[in-house]
């Protein structure tokens, strides 16, 4: 038990908790998007999370002692992930289809481990690299299984490949900027506020290039699900940002990407979407779990 409460233990528990909370977010978002638009969901979630981050930062008094350098890194993280990363992913979906873009975008942990080794001097072990690859492969298979019903035939040509790849790279840069900010001051809640507010501004600025002009529409039903999704996503953000104040990127990011595993479980047991536990899903889940064990147990 004492090992679980150590910094390394929390560095494992928090990202796994993040992945579970974000899975709840996606399940609620799936319901909200029946009568709302993706951009409306992004704006509502990001603004609520930003407000929560700023509120906790204010209550803790960290905004009074902050320097100007750290918020710049936090805003850069938000612009990369919640902003440009989201835009690139939606463009990839438009040009390639969900079933092709999603597995490619799931390669983020590999890029993040590479960037962490280059820019943060992290030295992931062979087991961490192997576990990261297993997680990416398993997540890709799970994502393919989950979006198979919504995929469309045809491709977008080789040029369309750049969008999901770019999205995965942009998301991989997020923890790098976060770590640079934390090197100046460890204020995760202020960072959350800065990042998610900046991400919202970038998405709004780039609406015109999104599919259909990025309309913002949501009825009362959609807003109800979005509020629940925002609560879950706020918990996910708190867990992810807090973990990165003391744990390595090469540990936190792969474990935080177990989301499709939990989405499949939640959908199967609670949503009644006729999700079937096929051999492909079971095999993919086993790969993800094996990867998580390698990343967390053999550092």
Predicted confidence (pLDDT) per residue in 170-229, tens digit: 999 999 999 999 999 999 999 999 999 999 999 999 988 887 778 889 899 999 999 999
Residues 6+ away with beta carbon under 8 Å from 70: 181, 182, 184, 185, 187, 190, 191
Crossing angle of helices 220-243/7-32, nearest 10°?
160
Confidence grade of residue 144 (pLDDT, cut at 50, 70, 90): low
Burial code of 190-202, b = ≥16 C-beta within 10 A, e = fewer?
Answer: bbbbbbbbbbbbb
Give tens-digit pLDDT for 156-167. 555 667 888 899
Confidence at residue 67, expressed as pLDDT on a 0 to 100 scale: 84
Alpha helices of the chain — where are they, by DSSP H?
Answer: 7-32, 38-60, 69-78, 86-96, 98-105, 108-119, 126-147, 162-184, 188-205, 220-243, 249-256, 259-266, 279-297
Range of lowest pLDDT (130-134, 140-144, 250-254): 140-144
pLDDT tens per residue, range 71-126: 999 999 999 999 999 899 888 877 766 556 667 777 888 888 889 989 998 888 88
Question: Which DSSP category does 5 fall into?
Answer: T
Q: How crowded is residue 52: how many other Cβ atoms within 10 Å of its Cβ?
A: 21
What phi, psi does 41 have (nearest 5°)? -60, -45
Band of the pLDDT at 2, cuts 50, 70, 90?
very low
What pLDDT shows up at residue 153?
Answer: 47
The pLDDT value given to residue 146: 55
Q: What is the DSSP letter of 210?
A: S
Every domain of the chain and the residues it spans: 7-297
What pLDDT is attached to residue 180? 95
Q: Report how far apart the first and last C-alpha atoms of the chain are (Å, whole number).
A: 18
pLDDT at 29 over 70: yes
Taking residue 184's Cβ as centre, other Cβ atoms within 10 Å add up to 16
Section 239-249 average pLDDT: 93
The rounded distance, in Å, linking the Cα atoms of 212 and 224 is 24
* pLDDT-above-70 percentage for the chain: 83
Residues 6+ positions from 1 with CB-CB distance below 8 Å: none
Mean pLDDT of 236-264: 87
Average pLDDT, the chain: 83
Q: What is the DSSP string of 221-255?
A: HHHHHHHHHHHHHHHHHHHHHHHTTTS-HHHHHHH
Interhelix angle 249-256/7-32, nearest 10 degrees: 30
Using the predicted structure, report yes or no on whether residue 236 has a pLDDT greater than 90: yes
Q: What is the DSSP letter of 206?
A: T
Q: Identify the band that residue 136 occupies on the pLDDT scale cut at 50, 70 and 90.
A: confident
Q: For the segment 50-81, what is each residue's pLDDT rounded down to a tens digit?
A: 999 999 999 988 877 788 899 999 999 999 99
pLDDT beyond 50 at 1? no
Contact yes or no for 247/188 (Cβ under 8 A): no
Mean pLDDT of 242-252: 91
């Amino acid at each position: 038990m004492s090992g679980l409460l150590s910094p390394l233990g929390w560095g494992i528990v928090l990202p796994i908790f993040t992945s579970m909370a974000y899975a709840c977010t996606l399940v609620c978002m799936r319901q909200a998007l029946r009568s709302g638009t993706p951009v409306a969901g992004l704006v509502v979630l990001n603004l609520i999370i930003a407000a929560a981050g700023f509120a906790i930062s204010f209550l803790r008094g960290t905004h009074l002692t902050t320097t100007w350098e750290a918020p710049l890194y936090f805003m850069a993280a938000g612009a990369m992930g919640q902003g440009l990363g989201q835009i690139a992913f939606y463009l990839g979906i438009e040009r390639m289809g969900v079933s092709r873009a999603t597995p490619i975008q799931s390669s983020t942990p590999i890029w993040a481990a590479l960037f962490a080794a280059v820019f943060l001097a992290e030295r992931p072990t062979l087991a961490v690299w192997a576990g990261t690859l297993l997680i990416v492969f398993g997540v890709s298979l799970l994502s393919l299984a989950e979006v198979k019903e919504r995929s469309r035939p045809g491709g977008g040509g080789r040029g369309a490949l750049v969008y999901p790849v770019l999205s995965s790279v942009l998301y991989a840069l997020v923890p790098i900027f976060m770590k640079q900010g934390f090197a100046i001051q460890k204020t995760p809640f202020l960072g959350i506020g800065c990042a998610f507010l900046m991400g919202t501004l970038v998405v709004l600025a780039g609406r015109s290039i999104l599919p259909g002009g990025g309309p913002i529409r949501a009825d009362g039903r959609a807003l109800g699900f979005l509020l629940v999704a925002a609560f879950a996503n706020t918990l996910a953000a708190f867990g992810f940002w807090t973990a990165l104040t003391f744990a390595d990127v090469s540990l936190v990011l792969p474990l935080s990407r177990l989301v499709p595993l939990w989405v499949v479980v939640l959908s199967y047991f609670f949503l009644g979407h006729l999700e079937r536990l096929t051999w492909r899903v079971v095999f993919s889940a086993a790969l993800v779990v094996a990867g998580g064990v390698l990343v967390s147990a053999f550092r």
